[in-house]
Copies of this chain bind each other. A is one copy, B any other.
Amino acid sequence: MKKTDGGITAPAGFYAASAAAGIKYQGRTDMAMVFSEKPCNVAGTFTQNIFKAAPVIWDRDIVKGKGVGQAVIINSGIANACTGEEGLRICRETADAASRILGIPADTVLLGSTGVIGMQLPLDRLVAGAKVLVANLKPDREAGNQAAKAIMTTDTHEKEVALETEIGGKKVTFGGMAKGSGMIHPNMCTMLAYVSTDAAISGTLLQKALGEIVQDTFNMISVDGDTSTNDTLLVMANGMAGNEEITEENEDYRIFYEALNEICLHLAKEMAADGEGATKLMESVVIGADTKENARILAKSVVCSSLSKAAMFGCDANWGRELCALGYSGVVFDPMKVEMWFESGDGTKKIRIFTNGAGTDYSEDEASELLSGKHVRIISDMHMGKESATAYGCDLTYDYVKINADYRS
């Protein structure tokens, strides 16, 4: 398994395109399409928010129905959430228009939207944009990169990943793209993320793998604690690698699972690191928990704490805030047993800051220097058992407030 340069178009048979449809932004692309030569088995996980955006409802019906998709159309600028019946009609008409141009069934056209909640999408611009997208579809690196750029909102850079592995003697490739970077607090995941692969795998196993992987990847990141109305993670597998289709949990499945996990973890961490206004990636590792679920809750509580996030921005070793976040997580533990360390992202520096119910006599200067890095790890050993989990977040900065006090302007 090796990471390669590339994105959503890396696997065989995948095309992408972008277009500037003028949906809300001016002077930038705001629509993207991903298209596979052959129909794909498609799996997905979606927001748990009661207010599900119209494209989430549309995609969920496809994933839970035939589970087959061949194209995805995504727009940025307007989320098509809280838009009532009219929002659903716009989804239907967009898919219908794309299906006619592409010559594929409308119920294999998946949709994704991100941006302002509550505004209606301009259907005429969407349809005109879809025509441009189809005309520009290309299977190359550049087309994938342009698609990854077109789906951004407040992201500072596009998020792409690709990797190769071998399954049953055949080279299999995975590609992915995603966008953050606010309203990020996954339950399912929170954001838009798309993964392509030319592996052959049954729809059932694809959904099973994704459902498990999302728990320790996208569901373990948080930027601001707000679970979006639009969160969507889709995986499309078109089988063009020529491997024997994976239909049981054998060695081929294990390799596929590991590769998909790697892709999802990469995109999830990138999303956390590029959270709105973020200057650093905050990684919370919990070890020695009694159950896996408790490990996850504890790890996430730390990256969700506004006070811990603000202290990280200030490179202030105010570790009481991380302990405090463990303490109000709802998990029961013995506070006298907890040990805590700060560690630099590359693992070269590690400082024990708390043990036996009180702080150690660590050097504030060393701690502050460690915390000034772009990637900081907080390790909490609960000394209760053997379960562990890792959560990813980012610091809370002036820019987060700036971006969100005036998002719609």
On chain B, the residues within 8 Å of A320 by CB distance are 79, 81-82, 116-118, 229
Residues of A in contact (CB 8 Å), total 70
9 tightest A-B CB contacts, nearest first? A117-B320, A314-B405, A310-B404, A84-B357, A84-B358, A227-B328, A51-B327, A49-B327, A50-B327
Q: Which residue of B lies closest to A317 (CB)?
A: B408
Q: Is A311 an interface residue (CB 8 A)?
A: yes
Which residues of B are found within 8 Å of A333, using beta-carbon distances?
Answer: 50
Hey, which chain B residues are within 8 Å of A79, CB to CB? Answer: 320
Choose, from A7-15, A208-216, A284-292, A395-403, the stretch at the interface: A395-403
30 contacts between A and B (CB under 8 A): A48-B328, A49-B328, A50-B326, A50-B328, A50-B333, A81-B320, A81-B324, A82-B335, A82-B358, A83-B357, A84-B336, A118-B359, A182-B307, A183-B321, A225-B305, A225-B306, A226-B305, A226-B306, A229-B327, A310-B400, A310-B401, A310-B403, A310-B404, A311-B404, A313-B401, A314-B404, A314-B406, A318-B407, A318-B408, A396-B401
**Of residues 323 to 350 in A, which have CB atoms within 8 Å of B's CB atoms?**
323-328, 331-333, 335-336
Residue A250 is within 8 A (CB to CB) of chain B in the complex:
no
Residues of B within 8 A of A228 (CB): 324
Residues of A278-313 at the interface with B, using a CB-CB cut-off of 8 Å, are 304-307, 310-311, 313
User: Using a CB-CB cutoff of 8 Å, which residues 369-409 of chain A contact chain B?
Assistant: 396-398, 400-409
Instruction: State whether the Cβ of A257 lies closer than 8 Å to any Cβ in chain B.
Output: no
Residues of B contacting A323 in the complex (Cβ-Cβ under 8 angstroms):
51, 82, 117-118, 229
- Is A251's beta carbon under 8 Å from chain B? no
Question: A316 on the interface (CB 8 Å rule)?
Answer: yes
A160 interface contact, C-beta 8 A: no
In the assembled complex, A363 has its CB within 8 A of some CB on chain B: no
- Does A253 count as interface, using CB distance less than 8 angstroms? no
Do A335 and B51 form a contact, CB below 8 Å, given A183-B307, A316-B407? yes
Out of B50, B335, B336, B408, name the residue touching A335 (CB < 8 Å): B50
Q: How many copies does the complex hold?
A: 2
Say if the beta carbon of A365 comes within 8 Å of chain B. no
Assembly CA distance A183 to B119 (angstroms): 35
User: Closest CB of chain B to A192's CB: distance in Å?
Assistant: 16
Complex CA gap A117/B307 in Å reads 12
Chain B residues with CB under 8 A of A58: none
Q: Is the CB of B404 within 8 A of A401?
A: no
Q: How far is the CB of A340 from chain B (nearest CB, A)?
A: 10
Residues of B within 8 A of A118 (CB): 318-320, 323, 354, 358-359
Q: B51, B87, B326, B331: which contacts A51 (Cβ < 8 A)?
A: B326
- A30 interfacial by beta-carbon distance below 8 Å: no
